[in-house]
Structure 1
Amino acid sequence: MAEDTRKRKLLELFTTITKKKAIVEPMRKVHGTLRDRDAVEREIALIMREILDRGYFKTKLTPRQLAKLVVAYYDGMNDTEIARTLGDEKLSKTVARARVRLKLFRDLDFKMPFDQEKLVKLLESDKTLKEISEELNVSPSTLREYRHVIEQRNDTTLDPYLERIRDVMEDRDLSEAMTRGVANDGLSEAIDITEAIDMGEF
């Protein structure tokens, strides 16, 4: 009880000295940001709807699911983890194709067991996918995945929309950085006051 009373008085003192209404307590996880996750997803979903309505992109995922995919990708999730956030782990391949279409590449996307330039030249030739897959010693389905990566890397159709999405995500990152800065400033002041009280300065 004595510790609770001390903590309450400390917070009251902190409020008085700093004239701040929002108190950031030590070890508290900061959940809120200037632009929360839901708002970011809604904004990206609107852009995704434009893309889908114009027929630039065909997928079973909804605009909101695509928005969640983007945010989850920026948060460092892999395709399976993203599929789980969408409610179905079986969507991992759908997620992967949509991610590549949105140019959200991973290093693994370009790790092919043959030279990429060779693949490009073969795709530009008159050979069928079956013939190319046999020459490269990969399955037709794997070849289609590699072709998808190469095609989307070179396709500029969605670039204006993707630039808008990047702007939204950069704004989110800036917002979170500002929130962390405010939290850290408040925490530092609280610690300084605590030390001063312990030393008998108040």
Structure 2
Amino acid sequence: MDEKTAELRDIFIETTGSDTVTERQSESRGSLADVDDPEEVRERVADLVSTMRERYEFETDLDDDTLVTLVVGYFDGDADEDLAVELGVAPEVIRTARFDLHLVRDADRDAPFDMDRLDKLLVEGADDDELAEKLDVPVDLVREFRPVAAADIRSTRVNHRFRDDFSELLTDDDLSQRMAEDARNDGLREATEDIETDVSL
């Protein structure tokens, strides 16, 4: 509490004889932070997954409960192969589901070409053949990395809201992750700066 807030609080208490409003102000107002109960965390993650499903067309048919387990495992450091065994699906399905949820690993972006250029070309509407020609790579390689770039672009268009909300719920401190992605995000912002977006939900 800063000095000004403390002063206003004292005035309020002196005037009303109660600090009820101050106590209410100190409570969480929908913040994702400081949620300690595992069941409540899962419920909050499930709400985010449900919101994303309404907003986007998911590529996989995994149900929300399975996707919640995937999100929790992702932030717990589980590899796609481990999640695939746990959830009884192929690793490729886990990868696609992660992209549906804007959860892209650094390793996903390890392409033999400039991913920022791929982002820009995608935003401009290039198809796979055009991408392959302009990036001077085989079409198969384009098809491998296009979903990665598309997931990053979707995430950027909502200011990484969903990824950051997941992170806030499931990690103690996501600062290092954000710092590590600064360069990547700068490139995406440049690629999408001319696009009008509606981030209100």
Shift in Å, 1:121: 4.9
The one-letter code sitting in structure 2 at the alignment partner of 1:82 is: L
After TM superposition, the score normalised by the length of structure 1 is 0.54
Instruction: Report 1:65-144 matches (<5 A).
Output: 65-88=66-89, 90=90, 92-123=91-122, 128-133=127-132, 136=135, 138-144=137-143
Deviations 1:38-90 (A, max 9, x none): 543333112211221x24241311111111111111111111111111122x2
The one-letter code sitting in structure 1 at the alignment partner of 2:37 is: R
The one-letter code sitting in structure 2 at the alignment partner of 1:99 is: R
Rounded to whole Å, the distance in 1 between the matches of 2:77 and 2:69 is 12
After superposing on structure 2, the runs of 4+ consecutive aligned residues of structure 1 that deviate more than 6 Å are none
Deviations 1:163-198 (A, max 9, x none): 43233214xx49xxxxxxxxxxxxxxxxxxxxxxxx
Identity of aligned residues (%): 29
Rounded to whole Å, the distance in 2 between the matches of 1:164 and 1:116 is 25
CA contact (8 A) 1:129 1:143 kept: yes
**Structure 2: where are the runs of 5+ without partners?**
1-35, 174-201
Shift in Å, 1:118: 3.7
Pair 161,135 (structure 1): closer, same or farther in 2 beyond 3 Å:
closer
Max radius of gyration: which structure? 1
Instruction: Report 1:38-53 matches (<5 A).
Output: 38-52=39-53
After TM superposition, the score normalised by the length of structure 2 is 0.55
How many residue pairs align between the two structures?
A: 135
CA contact (8 A) 2:41 2:169 kept: yes
Give the structure, 1 or 2, with the largest relative contact order (CA under 8 Å, sep 6 or more).
1
